[in-house]
């Protein structure tokens, strides 16, 4: 896991064709907006979260965020233990995000 700031996140994701952007917030938090093209897996739903990551491709690079950076750091650690090699945690999370946002698809 590597903690990265907004600028580094934008640089890496713009150049990475093998990326998955993962939002580990709750449905209520996601309703406020998302980083475009992200997939939600609520870390507070442990069984769904584990089922979700177990179905993911471990060869991809994962960019993970939550509201403030704590849960996403935890998600990175869980994913590393599950065999994921490249995980990045957004420092400060969505509440500190200054890039593009979108509304989730319902």
Domain boundaries, the chain: 2-96
Residue 52 pLDDT exceeds 90: yes
How would residue 105 be classed by pLDDT, with cut points 50, 70 and 90?
Answer: confident
* Count of CB atoms situated within 10 Å of the CB of 48: 12
For residue 106, what pLDDT is reported? 65
Structural domain 2-96, CATH architecture: 3-Layer(aba) Sandwich (3.40)
Q: Give the mean pLDDT of 6-25.
A: 97
Which residues have CB under 8 Å from 52's CB, separation 6+?
A: 41
List, by residue number, the catalytic residues: 66
């Amino acid at each position: 896991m590597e903690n990265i700031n907004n600028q580094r996140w934008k640089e890496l994701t713009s150049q990475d064709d093998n990326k998955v952007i993962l939002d580990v917030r709750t449905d209520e938090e996601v309703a406020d907006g998302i980083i475009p093209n992200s997939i939600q897996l609520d870390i507070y739903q442990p069984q769904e979260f584990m089922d979700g990551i177990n179905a993911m491709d471990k060869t991809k690079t994962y960019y993970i965020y939550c509201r403030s950076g704590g849960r996403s750091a935890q998600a990175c650690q869980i994913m590393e233990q599950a065999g994921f090699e490249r995980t990045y945690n957004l420092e400060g999370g969505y509440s500190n995000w200054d890039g593009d946002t979108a509304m989730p698809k319902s």
